[in-house]
Amino acid sequence: MTLFYGTELASRLMLGTAQYPSPEILADAVRRAGAGVVTVSLRREAAGARAGQAFWELIRGLDVPVLPNTAGCHTVREAVTTAQMAREVFGTDWIKLEVIGESDTLQPDMFALVEAARILTEDGFKVFPYMTEDLVGAERLLRAGCEVLMPWGAPIGSGKGLNNLFGLRALRAHFPDVPMVVDAGIGVPSHAAQAMELGYDAVLINTAVAKAGDPAEMARAFAMAVEAGRMAYIADPMEERDMAVPSTPVIGQAVL
Amino acid sequence: MQITVNGKRHDVQATTLSALLDEMGYDATARIATAVDGCFVAASQRPALALHAGAQVEILAPMQGG
């Protein structure tokens, strides 16, 4: 059982809600994924516009815990203010903390992330920090009060899968008891299965589902991959070898 | 007084944040969050939040996110 700030999720698949062809397809994808969490955001809304309210009604109807993000924030101050606004609007102290440091890769600014995480934790937030797979950064985030870590697999929306397997393995091995989620960069279900096989506790997917030809079907495929990967991790996979080892016994083999 | 709301300049009569939301036509039950000059203003603090000329107001609502 994995607890995220004391809460056990119904599924280890976390699903983003952006970029779907329609609200109906989004709702269908969330249901087919059996998502344990859905991520949401905040944007400017003019008086009289109802898009935000309609979206909120849709999300509430799905009855899945929400994880608001601070997407698009580049400074500590922006991220902290956005988190405070999200807490009021969504009624949760969970926050997926993003502080972007570089526009081409949307790479997290680990220095600003640690500072924002410290401020928010002191303010009672339960912070899910979107981070690089940096061991020292992870240590600082834990010291700042984070009880969950969310390393990237690859740049957001790239679909490249797990870009640094060694780094993700090392991070998992260094902090075996910290709930960890691979967030961003996952493109196909096999990437998600791979993250789970490494021992990650969950994955967060958005673009790979939303931009699939059939998002709902892809959501189901991801759910199956996450479950398979988790089962494989628990079943303790064999060790990889460089040389062949015959699987059929050689003792008693005929000499012909 | 001139203030900026969600990046656009407006000439408004309102002197408090809650009055501004009324003046601009935001529904009282709307699920929105507010910030002034980069600082969060909780819904309960809006009636007491005095606006000043040049204030930067942000009014945000739920939306899709990853």
Q: Which of A49, A81, A207 minimises the CB distance to B35?
A: A81
* φ, ψ for residue A194, nearest 5 deg: -65, -45
Residue A18 falls within a domain, yes or no? yes
- Answer whether residue A240 is part of any domain: no
Note whether B25 contacts A: Cβ–Cβ < 8 A. Answer: yes
Range of the domain at A212: 8-235
In CATH, what number is assigned to the domain containing residue A192?
A: 3.20.20.70
Which of B6, B57, B64 to mutate to probe the A interface, most A CBs <10 Å?
B64
Residue A3 in domain: no
Predicted confidence band of residue A144 (pLDDT cuts 50, 70, 90): very high
- CA-to-CA separations, B31 to A12, A43, A157, B39, in angstroms, rounded: 29, 12, 29, 18
Cβ-Cβ contacts under 8 Å, B22 against chain A = none
pTM value surpassing 0.90 = yes
Mean pLDDT of A52-58: 92
Q: At A253, is the pLDDT very low, low, confident or very high (cuts 50, 70, 90)? A: confident
Q: How many CB pairs under 8 A join A and B?
A: 107
Mutation for B interface: A67, A82, A89, most B CBs within 10 A: A89
**Residue A161, token pair as written in the block:** 């899968």
Does residue A136 fall inside a structural domain? yes
Taking only the tens place, the pLDDT of each residue in B10-62 is 999 999 999 999 999 998 888 999 999 999 999 999 999 999 999 999 999 99
Active site residue A96: yes
| Chain A residues within an 8 Å CB radius of B62 | 40-42, 52-53, 55-56, 59, 89-90
Q: Looking at the domain assignment, is residue A84 inside a domain?
A: yes
Q: Give yes or no for B50 touching A (CB within 8 A).
A: no
Examine residue A81 and state whether it is found in any structural domain, yes or no: yes
Indicate the number of domains in chain A.
Answer: 1
Q: How far is A206 from chain B (nearest CA, A)?
A: 6
Helix (H) or strand (E) holding B21: helix B17-24
Residue A23 scores a pLDDT above 90: yes
A71 at the B interface (CB within 8 A)? yes
Q: So what's the ipTM on this one?
A: 0.94
Contact A85 B35 (CB under 8 A): yes
The H-assigned helical ranges of chain A are: 23-33, 51-62, 76-90, 110-122, 135-143, 165-174, 189-197, 207-210, 215-234
User: Does residue A170 sit within a domain?
Assistant: yes
- Residue at A249 is within a domain: no
Question: 3-state DSSP call for residue B2?
Answer: strand
Residue A207 marked ligand-binding: yes
What integer pLDDT is reported at residue A133 of this predicted model? 97
